[in-house]
Amino acid sequence: MYLSRIRLRPDAAGKREFWQAMGSEYQAHHMVWDLFTDSPERERDFLYRVEDVDGLPTIYATCRREPVNRGGMWTIETKPYDPILRSGQQLAFVLRANPVRTKCDEKGKHHRHDVVMEAKTRLKQQGRSREEWPPEPEIVGQAGFAWLATRGEANGFSVAEGDVRADGYTQRRFRKRKGRHDISLSTIDYTGILTVTDPDLFKVALFGGIGPAKGFGCGLMMVRPAGR
What pLDDT sits at residue 142? 95
From CA 212, how far away is CA 188, in angstroms rounded?
12
What pLDDT sits at residue 115? 93
Within the chain, residue ranges assigned H as helices are 16-21, 25-36, 115-125, 136-155, 199-208
What pLDDT sits at residue 140? 95
- Closest to 73 measured CA to CA, from 4, 17, 3: 17
| Three-state secondary-structure class, residue 115 | helix
* Domains of the chain with CATH codes: 2-80 (3.30.70.1200), 90-225 (3.30.70.1210)
What pLDDT sits at residue 42? 72
What pLDDT sits at residue 108? 67
What pLDDT sits at residue 23? 52
From CA 118, how far away is CA 99, in angstroms rounded?
11
pLDDT in tens, 43-72: 888 999 988 888 778 899 999 889 988 778
Q: Which residues of the chain have pLDDT under 50?
A: none
Q: Dihedral (C-alpha) 213, 217, 219, 220: value to the nearest 10 degrees? A: 160
What pLDDT sits at residue 207? 96
What pLDDT sits at residue 105? 64
From CA 219, how far away is CA 194, in angstroms rounded?
16
What pLDDT sits at residue 16? 53
pLDDT in tens, 171-199: 887 766 565 667 788 999 999 999 999 99
What pLDDT sits at residue 179? 57
